[in-house]
Amino acid sequence: MKLLRLTVDGSAVPCILDGEGNAREVSSLVQDFTAETLPGVLAVLSGADFAALPVMPVVDADILPPVARPGTIWCVGLNYSDHAEEAGLPVPSEPILFNKAAGTYCGPNAPLLHSEKMSKLDWEVELGIVIGKRALNVSRAEAMDHVLGFTIVNDVSERAWQMERGGQWVKGKSFPNFCPTGPWLVTKDEVPDPQALSMWLDVNGERMQAGTTARMIFDVATIVSYMSEFCVLEPGDLICTGTPPGVGMGKKPPRYLGPGDVVELGIDGLGRQRQVVQSL
């Protein structure tokens, strides 16, 4: 099942993609895809006659993140062995965890905002995990029972703020629109193996990242179980699971984004995103 949200007359409209790729409005069945509705959303939608539901026109600019703003956006750093090598850093023995501010959350095609105070704006295609059921102290064997599905995230980063200004990484990760998410949430039943997904990212039509989730150091089930040891994962929470090599910081010489640059990215079966860098 592919869940998406569109903005119509300023309001969010929950939809599902049918087998022909049409967006069918499901607001008669569920008000929105939120922390409150996600635990039961599959039960509500599974018996629906989608052919009887209204078809909504899909315009890229109208696509919202597939779930209403999460309570927490979690991130895993250096979670690809080839990216750690690119960065010249040791492979972590445990997942490196940090957060992005909730205000970073935006649709998959929203502009990337460029401040005059930025100098090293970077890209990161990532697999996003969406939590569907509260998780605390769950085992690795139980972890997938708490996952609703998967989506695409661009974990946008301002490297100078992240690496050169002291403190923690959150500083370079939390500017508005630094977390484009979507276009869809693909439920886990349609992703038989989340550790076998190809992913890519282009800047101005040039391939920068080409990787696979098979190179993740800590897989999806491990991440969910590990995090639940330290915190409660709530329905709607988003976990960004790390990026493959090819980020701007790792180029020789480094390459960063500026106004007018176009970023396109995708993951097999999860759709694609497109953002244009825009001056504030």
Q: For residue 148, what pLDDT band results from cuts at 50, 70 and 90?
A: very high
For 76-121, the pLDDT digits (tens) are 998 998 877 777 778 899 999 999 999 999 999 999 999 999 999 9
pLDDT in tens, 178-192: 999 999 999 999 999
- Comparing CA positions, the residue from 152, 101, 172, 171 lying closest to residue 263 is 152
As a whole-number percent, the residues of the chain with pLDDT over 90 amount to 90
DSSP state of 56: E
pLDDT in tens, 62-77: 999 999 999 999 999 9
Alpha carbons 102 and 90: distance in angstroms, whole number? 29
C-alpha–C-alpha distance, residues 165 and 173, integer Å: 12
Question: What's the pLDDT score for residue 166?
Answer: 84
Q: Is the pTM of this model over 0.75?
A: yes
Task: With beta carbons less than 8 A apart as the criterion, state whether 55 and 23 touch.
Answer: yes
CA distance 78 to 244: 9
Residue 160's pLDDT band (cuts 50, 70, 90): very high
- For position 178, what pLDDT does the model report? 98
Nearest one of 242, 263, 265 to 121, comparing CA atoms: 263
Partners of residue 225 on adjacent β-strands: none
Choice among 31-35, 46-50, 98-102, 154-158 with the minimum mean pLDDT? 46-50
Q: What is the mean pLDDT of residues 131-136?
A: 98
Handedness of CA 112, 262, 86, 119 (dihedral sign): negative
Residue with tokens 């102290």: 137
Q: How far is residue 91's CA from residue 78's CA, in Å, rounded to a whole number?
A: 7
Write down the domain spans for the chain.
Answer: 2-63, 68-279
Please tell me the predicted confidence (pLDDT) of residue 237: 98
What is the signed CA dihedral for 35, 103, 272, 161, rounded to 10 degrees?
-140
Q: What is the pLDDT of residue 89?
A: 79
Q: Give mean pLDDT, residues 126-148.
A: 98
Q: What are phi and psi of 228, to 5 degrees?
A: -70, -10
pLDDT at 48 over 80: yes
- Position 129 pLDDT exceeds 80: yes
R_g of the chain, CA atoms, integer Å = 18
CATH superfamily, region 68-279: Fumarylacetoacetase-like, C-terminal domain (3.90.850.10)
Q: How confident is the model over 232-241, as a mean pLDDT?
A: 98
Residue 117 in contact with residue 157, Cβ under 8 Å?
no
